[in-house]
Every structure is written in structure tokens, then in C-alpha cells.
Amino acid sequence: MSASKRKTTRVSWLTLLLLRLKALIDGELEHLLAVKRSQRPWHVPIVSAIAISFPVFVGAYFDALSSGLKASLGAMVILNLPLVGKLPYRLVTLMAWGFAMSLCFAFGLIAQQVPVLRLPVFILIAFSVVVFGRYYRQPPPAGLFVMMAGAIALFTPLALEDIMSATGLVMLGSGVALIIGLLYSLFLLATRPMTPTPVYNYEPDTLTESIIVAAFVGLALLIALLLNMPNPYWAAVSCFLIIQGIHLRTMWIKQIHRLLGTLIGVGLASWMLSWGLSIWGVAIAILVMMVFIESLIDRHYGLAVVFITPLTIFIAEYGSGLPLTSAAYQEVTHTRLLDTLLGCVVGLSGGVVMHSTNLRVPLRRMEQWLLTRFG
């Protein structure tokens, strides 16, 4: 082959490679930037925002913002309200998540009295939440906020005698969500055709995948603890969000969304915290952020994260009852970004393991043995 032909061949291969690379980048960017059409009724974000912010407004009225924010954590179970099935199914599902929320929060507060119990209790909470959510095929957020409630409680300094009252506030918030969920369900059933109640059976790999998710979420928390991060549970929550993706590509896109959304979100949180909001201002800010989050969550995850980040910071920091100085909120926003980065890396690693056969084969054997023995 002559030199000119070899040169032409190399140019052709290089051109083909560049074209394929460009097509790959264009495809990923399209998937990354795509804004989907919402599949939910337009009033869902408004109802959710009212249910979650109502306890905060009550707390602001009684000058007890910290108590109102604890109750709003329980009210987040409104996000688990099914939009399908008959009324009993919808209410039972909401009550089940409310009970799980209160139980996990109580376990977290008890375990934080004995620091050595934090990691095993958190792994147990994560495993239970994943098994429950996957068996009943709960759509997002599934057990996210239940796990987050337990994680926040694990690192919230609270005297032993105050555990019952704090747990009671979370239960009260769940009760508010249940009442609003009942009224909203009646409205939906009266104005829309009723869809059949889902029938559930055990799906293969439910136990296997739950073990993997719980293990990597626990690993993220362990690494954050070893690094002495101020809020180590953020790393675990971020890991949980990433590893819940079905496919590796979904995990990768969700990781980019979460990182970019958190990067913008911490800036937004820092800016909002610098306002020095009154207790009524905090309540209004939470209401507005919830409307934005629930309006965007099924359209574009990254845009929703921009508001999820300051919302969770508001709930965790103002809910602690400690004053937020300028230095304190800057540290909070900076460490949140690092925690998110750590959680995303561990979550993506867990996704790779979840889709590999080397670990799944022995876990599947164990799962089959357990189902045969105790099923």
C-alpha cells in the first residue's frame, strides 16, 4: 500500500472516530438536558407543598420553628400517596410509610445515644426501606425521606428524655399528611376514573438488590465518618439516590444531574441563608421550594435538585434549633457539596457492582435458599 493510501485510510478512521464521538456526546447531552412532560395532575405539587409546609407555619405561629420542622419531616410521607387504586389502598400505603417514618426517626434518636450503634442501625434502616419499597414497587421518592429522617436523627444531638417528644412531632406531621391525603384522594376519586389497585408478588432479586444497596449506602456513611465530615448522612443519602437507578446509564445521568444541581443548589442555599430569614420567612421559603421541587421532579431531576439542596439544608439546620452564623452556613454549604460528591462516587460504584454477575450469583443462591426455607 502506498504512503498516500495509508494516509487516506488513517484520515478515514480518524474521521469515523470523531463522528462516533460527536454522536455519543450529542446523545448524552440530549439525554442530560431533556425536560420530560409531567405525568401527574398539576395540583399534586400544590397539595404536597401545603401538607409539608403546614407544620412549619404552625411552628412559626407558636414561635417553635424547630418543632415545626421536625413535624414537616413526618409530613413528607404525603409524597408517597399513591395516585392509583381504591381509597383503602391509598390510605393504608400512606399510613405504612408514616409508621416507618416515625419508627426510623425514633431508632435514629436512640442509636445516637450510643455512637457505635449508628452504622449498623442505619444499614438496617436502609435495607428495610429498600425491601419495603421494592416489594410494593413504590415509585420515587419511595423510602428516600424515611431513610433521611433516620439518618438525620442519628446525628441530631438530643437528650434521652426528649426522644419521645421529638418522635411525637414526626408522628404528628405524618398525621397531618394522612388527613390531607384523605381529602385529596377523595377529590381525585370523585373527579377522575379510578384505576385498579396493584397486585404485588415477590420479584426475583428483591432481596439481592436490597442487600447491595444497603451495603453501599452504609459504606458511604462509613467513609464519611472516617473522614470526620460534619454531616456524614448527606453522603449516604446521595449514594441512595444514585444507586436506585435501574440502568447504569440512568445512574450516570442521575449522578451528573445531582452534582450539577447540588453545585447550583449550595450556592442558592448560601444566598438564602444569608438573608437572615425570620421564622415566617423560613416557612414561606419551604412552601415555595416544595412547589418548585414537586413541579420539576418528574420533568428534570437536575433542576429539582437545585431546590432539594437548600430545602434539606433548611430542614436539617433550622430544625436543629442552633443559631446559624455567617461562618456556619458557609461551612454547611461547602461540606454538603463534598458529601454529595462522595455519595455519588460510592453510589455509581455500587451500581457497577449491582450490574455485575460475580457478586449477584452467590447472593441469588442465598436468596433462593432463604425463600425455599422460609418462603
Q: What is the mean pLDDT of residues 91-107?
A: 94
Q: Higher confidence at residue 279 or residue 4?
A: 279
Lowest mean pLDDT among 191-195, 249-253, 314-318, 336-340: 249-253
Most confident of 8-12, 76-80, 266-270, 319-323: 76-80
Q: Tell me what pLDDT residue 289 has.
A: 93
Domain count, the chain: 1
6 pLDDT more than 80: no
* DSSP SS3 for 139: coil
Q: Tell me what pLDDT residue 61 has.
A: 94
Q: What is the mean pLDDT of residues 291-308?
A: 83
pLDDT tens column, 110-164: 999 998 999 999 999 999 998 888 888 887 777 888 998 999 899 888 888 899 9
Q: What is the mean pLDDT of residues 99-105?
A: 94
Q: Tell me what pLDDT residue 26 has.
A: 52
Whether residue 34 is contained in a domain is answered as: no
Whether residue 338 is contained in a domain is answered as: yes
Whether residue 19 is contained in a domain is answered as: no
Q: What is the mean pLDDT of residues 342-368?
A: 79
Lowest mean pLDDT among 28-32, 59-63, 229-233, 301-305: 28-32
Instruction: Assign 25 a pLDDT band (cuts: 50, 70, 90).
Output: low
Contact indicator for 59, 67 with CB cutoff of 8 Å: yes
pLDDT tens column, 238-297: 888 778 755 555 666 666 777 777 778 888 887 888 888 889 999 999 999 999 988 888
How far is 184 from 190, CA to CA, in rounded Å?
A: 10
Q: What is the mean pLDDT of residues 230-238?
A: 85
Q: What is the mean pLDDT of residues 303-330?
A: 72
Instruction: Assign 177 a pLDDT band (cuts: 50, 70, 90).
Output: very high
Q: Identify the domain containing residue 145 by its residue range.
A: 42-369
Whether residue 335 is contained in a domain is answered as: yes
If you count them, how many residues does the chain have?
Answer: 375
Whether residue 374 is contained in a domain is answered as: no
169 pLDDT more than 90: yes
Q: Phi, psi (5° rounding) for residue 262?
A: -70, -40
Instruction: Assign 348 a pLDDT band (cuts: 50, 70, 90).
Output: confident
Whether residue 347 is contained in a domain is answered as: yes
Helix residue ranges per DSSP H, the chain? 3-33, 44-61, 65-75, 87-111, 118-135, 144-154, 163-191, 206-226, 233-243, 248-273, 279-296, 301-319, 326-354, 357-374
pLDDT-above-90 percentage for the chain? 37
Whether residue 361 is contained in a domain is answered as: yes
Q: Tell me what pLDDT residue 351 has.
A: 78
Cell of 97: 410509610
| Number of helices followed by number of strands (H, E) in the chain | 14, 0
Contact indicator for 129, 146 with CB cutoff of 8 Å: yes
Give the DSSP letter of residue 297: T
Instruction: Assign 326 a pLDDT band (cuts: 50, 70, 90).
Output: low
